[in-house]
Structure 1
Amino acid sequence: MSVIHRLLRTGTLTVAWLVLVPCALLPLVAILPMLPWVRIYAFDIVPNWASWLLIGCLGVLAIGLLARRQPGGAAGWLIAAALIGVLANAIVIGRLWQLAALHGARIDLAATLSLRDYSEAAAPDATYVYDMPDGEPLSLDVYRPPAAMRSARPGPVLLMIHGGGFVGGTRRLAAANMRNYAGRGWTVVSVDYRLARPGRPTWNLAADDVRCAMAWVAAHAGALHVDTSRLALNGASAGGNLALAAAYTRKAPRPGCGPALPPVAAVVARVPLVDPAASWDHGGEMQQVQRRLMRAYFGGSPAEVPARYRRRDMRRRLTPGLPPTLIMAAANDPILPIASARDLAARSAALGNRITLVVFPYAGHDFNAVYEGIPNQTVRQMVGRFLAENDPGPAR
């Protein structure tokens, strides 16, 4: 073997190892979460990018098999590690596919290779300012169904509430998903709410803003061509908490928002904050980050302002007769304990409410950020099916 040939072989194997380490290590850590901090990244990266990680391992395996024909034993270790990576990624993909099939979602594996973010390239059709509390404009975006899906009869409306830890995020988060829902026949309305900032906790303001937006939609139902008896809420993370609070509380909107609060036909919450005190106590690498968010939103710790934390505990809002609810949770959420979501679902079901809890395996808080990733394909189809099944209007 010539010197150049040996250098090329060594360089190729080095690059292969550099590719293999993340492609094999991350799914292994997602399955066996024993490495601190690495697991935090694994729980978000692996569900979103499992197809690409599998392709990386398969590519390295092919390089190892080709290199094995040449003298030297380094290729054997590369092949063994690549096979482990292929197996780990196959397990993750298989479990996610199984979950999708269980809930009636059909996964397009070729589409999972798309790099599109779930917020990418989906501008709204219109934007309005729905209120100005204390002079701060609060806006909402409207995504209308395509002309082919519009009819003389007003259609259903889906109110979206973004996440961001109550201190960040925008109404354009998940815009591509919102355009997808509009393409299925819903008029989608994505709303601002007041975010917490130093000296202004919003634990008693943000949910009121959501109710104001609901009342605004009801007051402008004719112009929006929507039937507010067919209104559903959809929130993620902090927005999931606000969606549940708005759906589970019959409280009049503040003056100026609209004449009345419309009923909620159904509510969807992805990785919602259920029990703020439990989230405060949730150990792990992200505890201090979550505590900063909780302190900003509530204006203190559970020990300092316990009544505020209790008022935002969604389990305390449970009564018989609540709207049908779909909760999508992450098995390995580093900031929101899965036990809280399970407790909420069990208690609500015991009261006779229709509630479905779906737990995504190997998943962290942002498990569906890639538009065509297996989790987000599942989320879109699951939400669409759930809303259609709980639409009180005429069949479409």
Structure 2
Amino acid sequence: MPTIKAIAEETMPEDPHPRRGPGARSRRRERTGRAMGRSRCRRRDALALIGACAICLLSIGAITAIPVLSYSLMLGAWGLDAVAVMALLAVVAGYRALRRRREPGARMRVATAGLVCLALAITGWMGAAQIRFAHAQGVDLSVLGLTGIGQWGRGPDVAPVVLTDAASRQTLRAGIWYPRGKAPGDGGEKAPIVVLLHGGGWRTGDRDNPMTRIQADWLADQGYVAIALEYPLSLRDTPTWELAQSRLVCSLAWVGAHAGEHGGDPGRLAVVGDSSGGHLALETAYRQALGGLDPSGPDAPTDADGETLPACQGNVPTIRAVATTYPITDPAVFHDNPDPILSGPVASRARLYVGGGPAQYPERYASIDPARKAAAAGAAAPPVLIVHGEGDHVVPVSGTRDLDAVLEAAGARHETIIVPYADHVFDLNGGSVASQIWRAKTLQLLRGAGLGA
């Protein structure tokens, strides 16, 4: 006869959750954990694919005219550090794609690896093209320099005040770098001087601009006294197209009067400049060749008593050579920059500097056009070096090509180098291929002008 317990078990409905028990919760947690892990992996794979797409697009933009994307070269050109990073990413992406090829998301990982490898191939091809170009120019490249390691430069040793300009309401200083390992009071022969003029569209910048600091420190390493001069920057209520030039002439006179105190020989002086500083370097050199530099002239700044400032009472040293990087060789062309993204900001800087556009003030733009003075000066002008990036989005390279034609026709001493796959501020990495070309050619220029350190 069945017991009451047996009858109860027979009549009890079947448990819809037969796996309930002490281990059920742990099994559910395990399943949930695996699902969450797969979800995290999918998210990581998706983010990796997005990053690979971005890297690949930036690489493609560096060799083609794609708005925004092609600005990637403005980061100082792709160096060995970028190639090394991409190679590492390609190895990691390829390893993950092979190791997890049978797991969900395999196609996404394969696509990521493929895109990174494509970016690596483009970057390597572009770098190889620049290296071949450098070798064709007779330039031996530093492999360590190409990595960007140690290329940021140190600040100036001293930064004395040159003058306080009431008209622009700005105090102008000079940053001075002494030759490495040599102090001004060490005696011996005075070192040649290289004056540096910073860029910034005549609107921003100072003696400690990154590119100025990088090249000044490098010049000091070569044995030169490097002096970075400031000039009045344009303000919204004060165009400085006249002030910048006249105050720069005063600053050069100050260099002539005080260079000896800092171990420099004002009789052996060159000027270098980038972007708007390159424009002022060319303008100043060609004006001097035409006999037009008078620091105490009618445009000279004065003090509260109407007396010419002391900085403007000396003589301007003779400029023996000029070396520029991506200079504004034609302010009107700079204003009319055709770039779909940067045309507005660029034109704004030109208008602030001159007071308006070329259509409004054609005579002003003509008066600050270096090509006109270069044509008149001809062979009397000092030798000039211009290194410009072929892909410059800020300062159109067409202006440099036009100036090169003028210099050639005028019989002026010059060398113009257009570097492929290089953009504006290519010397933000002081060891980039384009920057190393400029450095090698600048040393040749200085030594050829009797300014060897």
Q: Same fold (TM over 0.5)?
A: yes
The aligned amino acid for 1:152 is: G
Which shows bigger deviation, 237-246 or 348-357?
348-357
Q: Match for residue 272 of structure 1?
A: 327
Does residue 144 (structure 1) correspond to residue 178 (structure 2)? The answer is yes
Which shows bigger deviation, 369-378 or 332-341?
369-378
> Residues 8-87 of structure 1 correspond to what in structure 2 (within 5 A)?
10=42, 13-33=45-65, 35-39=66-70, 41-45=71-75, 47-66=76-95, 67-69=97-99, 70-71=101-102, 72-87=106-121
Does residue 176 (structure 1) correspond to residue 214 (structure 2)? The answer is yes
Give a deviation string over 1:196-240, Cα, whole Å, max 9, x none.
102210001101122111111112233233222210001111111
The aligned amino acid for 1:263 is: T
Q: Is the 8 A contact 2:81 2:148 kept in 1?
A: no
SS at match of 1:96: helix
Q: Is the 8 A contact 2:49 2:108 kept in 1?
A: no
Does residue 158 (structure 1) correspond to residue 158 (structure 2)? The answer is no
SS at match of 2:427: coil
Q: Match for residue 233 of structure 2?
A: 195
The aligned amino acid for 1:225 is: G
Q: 2:143 aligns with which of 109, 112, 116?
A: 109
Aligned partners of 1:198, 1:116: CA distance in 2, in Å? 38
Aligned partners of 2:237, 2:93: CA distance in 1, in Å? 58
Q: 1:348 aligns with which of 387, 407, 415?
A: 407
Aligned partners of 1:29, 1:237: CA distance in 2, in Å? 23
> Residues 1-396 of structure 1 correspond to what in structure 2 (within 5 A)?
10=42, 13-33=45-65, 35-39=66-70, 41-45=71-75, 47-66=76-95, 67-69=97-99, 70-71=101-102, 72-114=106-148, 118=152, 120=153, 122-134=154-166, 136-147=170-181, 152-173=188-209, 174-250=212-288, 251-254=293-296, 255=308, 256=310, 257-284=312-339, 285-318=341-374, 319-320=377-378, 321-390=380-449, 392-393=450-451, 396=453
1:117 CA displacement: 6.4
Give a deviation string over 1:56-83, Cα, whole Å, max 9, x none.
4323322343223422433433333233
1:28 CA displacement: 1.0
1:116 CA displacement: 5.9
Q: Is the 8 A contact 1:16 1:60 kept in 2?
A: no
Q: Is the 8 A contact 1:143 1:182 kept in 2?
A: yes
Give a deviation string over 1:133-183, Cα, whole Å, max 9, x none.
326432111111134597622221000111111111011113132112111
SS at match of 1:364: coil
Aligned partners of 1:182, 1:157: CA distance in 2, in Å? 10
SS at match of 2:360: coil
1:98 CA displacement: 2.2
The aligned amino acid for 1:199 is: D
Q: Is the 8 A contact 2:393 2:423 kept in 1?
A: yes
The aligned amino acid for 1:65 is: G
Label 1:386 to 1:14 Cα distance change in 2 as closer, same or farther (>3 A). Answer: farther
The aligned amino acid for 2:135 is: A
What is the percent sequence identity of the aligned residues?
25
Q: Is the 8 A contact 2:177 2:225 kept in 1?
A: yes
Aligned partners of 1:364, 1:108: CA distance in 2, in Å? 20
Aligned partners of 1:3, 1:99: CA distance in 2, in Å? 54
Structure having the higher Rg: 2
Label 1:151 to 1:326 Cα distance change in 2 as closer, same or farther (>3 A). Answer: farther
Label 1:117 to 1:18 Cα distance change in 2 as closer, same or farther (>3 A). Answer: farther
TM-score by length of 2: 0.79
Q: Is the 8 A contact 2:326 2:389 kept in 1?
A: yes
The aligned amino acid for 2:416 is: L
Aligned partners of 2:432, 2:47: CA distance in 1, in Å? 26
Q: Is the 8 A contact 1:20 1:56 kept in 2?
A: no
SS at match of 2:67: coil
Q: Is the 8 A contact 2:74 2:422 kept in 1?
A: yes
SS at match of 2:273: strand
SS at match of 1:346: helix
SS at match of 1:327: strand
SS at match of 2:202: coil
Aligned partners of 1:127, 1:36: CA distance in 2, in Å? 40
TM-score by length of 1: 0.90
Aligned partners of 2:72, 2:176: CA distance in 1, in Å? 35
SS at match of 2:323: strand
Which ranges of structure 2 fall in alignment gaps of 5 or more residues? 1-33, 297-307
